Structures are given as structure tokens and as C-alpha cells.
Amino acid sequence: EFVFFSDLLNSSNLTNKIVLSFDLDWASDEVIDYTYQKVKKAGVKATFFVTHPTPMIEKFTNDPKVQLGLHPNFNSFFSSEEKESVKESFEYLSNLKRSLLPSTKIIRSHSLTTSSLLLSQFWELGFEISSNYAMYGQSGICPFHHPSGMVEMPIFFGDDGYISFKNSKYLPSFSDEYLLESDFIGFRNFNFHPIHVALNTISIKQYNESRPYHDNFGRIIKEKHIGDGVEKFLEKLIFN
């Protein structure tokens, strides 16, 4: 069953619950819409974490099967003095939330950046749900509370991890068979990036080589990987 993050807040039974999410990561509108059309065709609920202004926000807002979260990037603040970085990160997040998604209560940081200070900022700005913990391939995942008031809903699957760990002897739980088991204890958050869906990414090498033409949707489709990859796995997840 595909559900929203918010559906899990009051759910007593998490077995076989799936949260499908996407980090936009500044992808072009064509790349984002390419992924969205697949989700729409499947008719499943999905959460899109927004990084930047895009006409897609209006399209998402009008779709009852889409929930929106914010995806801020705090990486630049690591080079600042602590006192200044705390102040600057709060101002940045406050402005980003106000300009993009003033009513959203869901957040996931780019690079999964989190800390007790950031969690307190999230709560102060009206967020309630954070999804910043990567627990790739683990069973029995449940939401848990932070002292700040935030509820953390960890990530079970990330397409970056899928690219890195697929068929790895070090993480056999990233096999398709295990990830797509029909009877699973705990909820599973499957997280993707539209650029990896459009490219059907199969390796970090392929992704890095594609960076120069990420703004050229026609070339992305022309050069995409044929065969098993991120897009093919997404299709297995949402259409089967």
C-alpha cells in the first residue's frame, strides 16, 4: 500500500506500507515531469521534495495523490563560523520555506544533513516530519521522535545506494527480490531522484559522464541506459 509520510503518524500497523518519494535536486522541468508522469500513470501516492522554484509545484499541488516537502541544501554553511552558520541557516531555511512551500510540514535535507540544532530550527519553522536517516535495506523501520518535537521517518531505499550496492556481496539486501518483497515488517520509504529515473542510471560513472547535458532532456533520453537500472526498478515497484 502506497501512503504519504503523514499517513504514518497515526498508523498502528506499518507492515507493507510504502512511502514513495523523490528529491528534485534542481532537475529540469522536463526531467521532473518525465518522472511525475510515470507516478501519475501508476496512480500511487508520492512525495516530492522541492529544491527550487518550478512550474511543477502548481501541477503537484493540484494532484491529490502528491504531497510536497522541502529539500534545502545546508552544505555551504559548513565553512562558516558556528554562530554565524546557525543564524544564516535559519534565515536561509525560513526564506526558502516562505517562498516555495509555506504550508509544508515535511523536510529532507540535501545530503541528508541533520543535527540537533537543525532539528530545532525545523520545528520552530513549522515542520513536523523529517526524513534524513538512511537505513538502507533494514527491516522493521518505524518512525521515531526527536526531543525537538520532530518525527523522523527513515529512508529504506535510495537510488544512490541502489547504484552503489546492487548485487554487492557486502550488502546482499539490496537485491531486487529482497527490496520488493510483498510481505515486509515495518514501513519502507523508497527514495528516487528524477535525473536517475530519466537516465535509468546503472552506475556512478554513467551519472558523472552525463552531468554536462543534464539541461538537455532530448540527449538524456537518447543517451539513457538500456536494461536494468533505476528507472526499471521504479517501474517494478509502482506497476507490479
Say how far apart CA 3 and CA 104 lie, in whole Å.
17
The pLDDT value recorded for residue 175 is: 82
Residues linked to residue 157 through DSSP beta bridges, in sequence order = 190
Burial label, 29 (beta-carbon count in 10 A; 0-12, 13-18, 19+)? middle
List the pLDDT tens digit at each of the 240 positions of the chain.
999 999 999 888 898 999 999 999 999 999 999 999 999 999 999 999 999 999 999 999 999 999 999 999 998 887 666 666 788 899 999 999 999 999 999 999 999 999 999 999 999 999 999 999 999 888 899 999 999 999 999 999 999 989 887 656 666 557 888 889 888 889 999 999 999 999 999 999 999 999 999 999 999 999 999 999 999 999 999 998
The pLDDT value recorded for residue 208 is: 96
Residues linked to residue 191 through DSSP beta bridges, in sequence order = 21, 158
The pLDDT value recorded for residue 63 is: 98
The pLDDT value recorded for residue 168 is: 65
CA 107, 133, 142, 101: dihedral to nearest 10 degrees?
Answer: 10
Say how far apart CA 63 and CA 76 lie, in whole Å.
33
The pLDDT value recorded for residue 77 is: 83
The pLDDT value recorded for residue 178 is: 86
Task: Report the 3 state secondary structure along 10-76.
Answer: CCCCCCCCEEEEEECCCCCHHHHHHHHHHHHHHCCCEEEEECCCCCHHHHHHCCCCEEEEECCCCHH
The pLDDT value recorded for residue 74 is: 92
Say how far apart CA 167 and CA 157 lie, in whole Å.
14
